[in-house]
Amino acid sequence: MAAPRKYSLELRERAVRMYRTSDPKPQIKKLAVELGVHPEALRGWIRRRLQDAGRRRLAAGQSRRPRSRQNRIGNAAARRAACALSRVRHSNAWLW
């Protein structure tokens, strides 16, 4: 069972909406203090919303795939490489 979220969905949506509709854009830290949320949490919500809207590119190394799937794929590749390397080491053991 997933852990409960610290901030409600309504609060997150309202915070992002306040940031997007204000002109000029406020400092994220000041807005976060005003709303009673952690500045990095607010920054992540804003970044995610901009990415979803297509107005912000993904950073290098990011993808839209869920992270757990990326980890499984990466771990499987690492296991295959380690297995192949150990086979090479054992077959060439007499050279060492």
| Rounded-to-integer distance, Cα 26 and Cα 19, Å | 7
pLDDT above 70 covers what percent of the chain? 68
Mean residue pLDDT of the chain comes to 79
What is the reported pTM?
A: 0.53
- Top-confidence residue, 27 or 53: 27
What CATH architecture does domain 7-59 belong to? Orthogonal Bundle (1.10)
- The conformation of residue 56, written as its DSSP 8-state character, comes to S
The pair of three-digit structure tokens given for residue 38, joined into one six-digit string: 């952690």
Cα-flanking dihedrals φ and ψ of residue 60, to 5°? -60, 135
Q: Widest CA span of the chain, in angstroms?
A: 72
Sketch the domain layout of the chain as residue ranges: 7-59, 66-96
For residue 31, pLDDT beyond 80: yes
Identify the pLDDT of residue 41. 93
- Give the separation between CA 9 and CA 14, rounded to whole angstroms: 9
